Amino acid sequence: MKLFGVLGDPVSHSLSPAMHNAAFKALGMDCEYHAFRVSADSLHDAIHGAFALGFGGLNLTIPLKEKALAIVKPTDLAKQIGAVNTVDFKNGIVGHNTDGLGARMALTENDVEIKGKKVLLLGAGGAARAIAFTLAAEGAIVTISNRTPERAFSLAKEVGKAGIISASGMEDLKNLVRNTDIIINSTAIGMFPGVSETLVTSDMMRTDLVVFDIVYNPINTRLLQEAKIAGAKTIDGVMMLVYQGAEAFKIWTGKTPPVDIMEKTVREELA
C-alpha cells in the first residue's frame, strides 16, 4: 500500500483525506491518505521522514507552505510563487504549487472572466501568494490587502513580476471594495470555529461583485452570506480545494482523478 498525507498545524479540520481516499477507491488504487499535525519547526524532519518511509506524496497547508521552499527542490512555478503545497517523491523531494491553478479553475468554471478585472485579495499568506501570482499572470489587476500592510507590500513586491499587483492595509476596505470586481478571501477569517467573522459586510458590496471565499469549512461562510444579502455572485472554497487536490493527484500518480467524486465527497463531509 502507498501512503500519502497532508501536513499542517492545525490539520484536524482538513477534508483532503476524505477527498483523496474517495478518488483512490474510485480508481481501485491500493493507496491511503492521512492528516498529520506537524509544526513548522518539525517540517524538515517530517518531509524527509515521509520520503524515507516511501510515501507517495504530501500536501502542505497552513502554516507550512512558505517554509517548505527551503526544504524541497521547488519547481520554477513554486519558486516564483514562493510557496509549496504539494510534494512529490518520484525524483527526489520536489515541491509544486497547485493552489493558483485551483483558484483560477474555481473562477473560470463559474464563468468568471479574469483578464482585465480588478481583484481584491484579502490576506498575504501561502495561498495568497499563489492566487496573486496566477491571477496577475492571467491579466487581472490585483490588490493584496492585509492587516499587516508591510506583509502585503512585501508579497506584492515578490510576486509583482507576474503582472499588475499592488498592496494595501485594511483600514480603507470600504473604498477598496468599491473599486473592485472580484473579492477573494484567502485568510482564515470565517473558518471553523470562528464562523461569525467576516472582513467585508453586505453594506460594502454591490450586485455586480464576485465574492470568492477559499475557506471551505463551513461552506457557507459569513462572507458568502453577506455577499448573498447584497445580491453578489458567490463561489465557495470547495472547488479550489478539489481542483488543487486533483492536480496534486495527477502529479503523484500520473492518473486523472474523478473530480466529481472528489467534490461530492467534500460536500457530503461538510453537510
Partners of residue 31 on adjacent β-strands: 2
User: Using N-to-C axis directions, what is the helix angle for 99-108 and 126-137, rounded to 10°?
Assistant: 60
226 in Cβ contact with 200 (< 8 Å): yes
Q: How many CB atoms lie within 10 A of CB 185?
A: 26
270 in Cβ contact with 220 (< 8 Å): no
65 included as an active-site residue: yes
Q: Pick the catalytic residue: 2, 25, 65, 264?
A: 65
Cα(210)–Cα(214) distance, rounded to whole angstroms? 13
Q: Where are the alpha helices (DSSP H) in the chain?
A: 16-26, 43-52, 76-81, 99-108, 126-137, 149-159, 173-178, 222-230, 238-253, 259-270
85 in Cβ contact with 60 (< 8 Å): yes
Active site residues: 65
